[in-house]
Amino acid sequence: MGLTIREIRDNTTRARHLMQRSRQQHFAVGAFNIDNQETLIAIAQAAQKLNAPVLVEVSDGEVKALGIENIRDMVDNYKVQYGIEMYLNLDHSPTVEDCKRAIDAGFEFIHIDISQANHDATTEEIIEKTKEVVEYAKFTGALVESEPHYFGGSSNVHTENIDYEEIKKTFSTPEGTKSFVEATGIDTYAAAIGNLHGKYPVPKELDLELLQRIRDSIECQISLHGGSGTPLNQFEEAARIGVSKININSDMRFAFREELVKVLAEHPDEYAVVKLMPQVYGAVQVVVEEKINAFGSAGKAVV
């Protein structure tokens, strides 16, 4: 059942207050991807246990798999069931039209990423389409996030090492960040400082000095994508500097698959798989709790 416009605006107002609190109190909110109901349960249980605000996010493929209205209803249902502060984020949406549909469905956070579908999109095209989403989002108050170029990697488990000399070519700069934020009017800037989509055999290295210079150059929120595989102490420092949102996906997927393989092997004669799933989403919950504690958001929920 869809939300009324009043309910949507109430939710987006609370979401904006959360982002303000994150800056004032120097914590980051975890944005956790889902592609199934069990992962959503893991996030909700972690949020309840640690009294932490969380974002549930879905990318284009996850929206296609679950359905945009179904996702909205599931998040709302579990938010009430667990009594938690939980919001919905559209992650790396490649088109303006998809963003508008999510805004209409009541998503509190919207990430427009034109370069996701077209790696060669021009800065002018990215700015133009981002501004269109920013303008459309004013009706509900949804917070809009974007970045001026393609963000590398993929939300999977990689076997290759990270080529940081290549990655550094796409790092954000304070000057470019300031120019893009002023040109688009976005609420949240997705910074590239060594974060990278996916889980790699070596830890990621965030350029925290660069992050500080980016933070000093803009007033809006900053997000970090590709948080999986990052040393926890770097998250703590990023939140202290002023990152408000950190995305996690691959670490959760890895835990889900590894535990699922294990539990299926341990119960070869059990075909009611639903009976085995609590052990699986329990493993994912451990990952979510670890990130929440590193982000400093435990105990920060306002319900």
pLDDT digits (tens, 9 = 90+) for 224-269: 998 888 999 999 999 999 999 999 999 999 999 999 999 999 999 9
Closest CA to 44 of 277, 284, 250: 284
Q: What is the pLDDT of residues 203-232, one digit of tens each?
A: 888 999 999 999 999 999 999 998 888 999
Neighbours of 271 (CB within 10 A): 8
Six-digit token pair at 33?
């991807």
The token pair at 285 is 């919950």
| pLDDT number for residue 101 | 98
CB 188 within 8 A of CB 145: yes
Mean pLDDT of the chain: 94
Token digits for 92? 């790396």
Specify the DSSP element, H or E, that contains 236: helix 232-241
For residue 20, what pLDDT is reported? 98
In degrees, rounded to 5, the angle at the alpha carbon of residue 192 between the alpha carbons of residues 32 and 14 is: 45
pLDDT, tens digit, 9 for 90 and up, residues 163-186: 777 778 889 999 999 999 999 999
Q: What pLDDT shows up at residue 153?
A: 62
Q: What average pLDDT score do residues 54-80 get?
A: 97
108 with 126: CB under 8 angstroms? Answer: no
Average pLDDT for 114-143 = 94
159 vs 201: CA distance, rounded Å: 6
Residue 209: name the closest of 228, 237, 233 by CA: 237
Check residue 155 and give its pLDDT: 67
- Residue 158 has a pLDDT of 75
Tell me the Ramachandran region of residue 152: left when phi exceeds 0, alpha when psi lies from -120 to 50, beta otherwise: beta
Identify the pLDDT of residue 1: 66
Instruction: State the amino acid at position 280 in one-letter form.
Output: V
Assigned CATH topology for domain 5-295: TIM Barrel (3.20.20)
pLDDT bin (cut points 50, 70, 90) of residue 296 is very high
**Is 91 annotated in the active site?**
yes
* Max avg pLDDT among 149-153, 232-236, 283-287: 283-287
With 0.85 as the threshold, say if the pTM is over it: yes
Per-residue confidence (pLDDT) for residue 61, from 0 to 100? 93
| pLDDT for 80 | 97
Contacts of 276 (CB under 8 A, 6+ apart): 263, 264, 267, 270
Closest-CA residue to 214 (of 238, 196, 235):
238
Instruction: Determine the residue type at 299.
Output: G
Domain ranges of the chain: 5-295
From 10, 35, 60, 91, the catalytic residue:
91
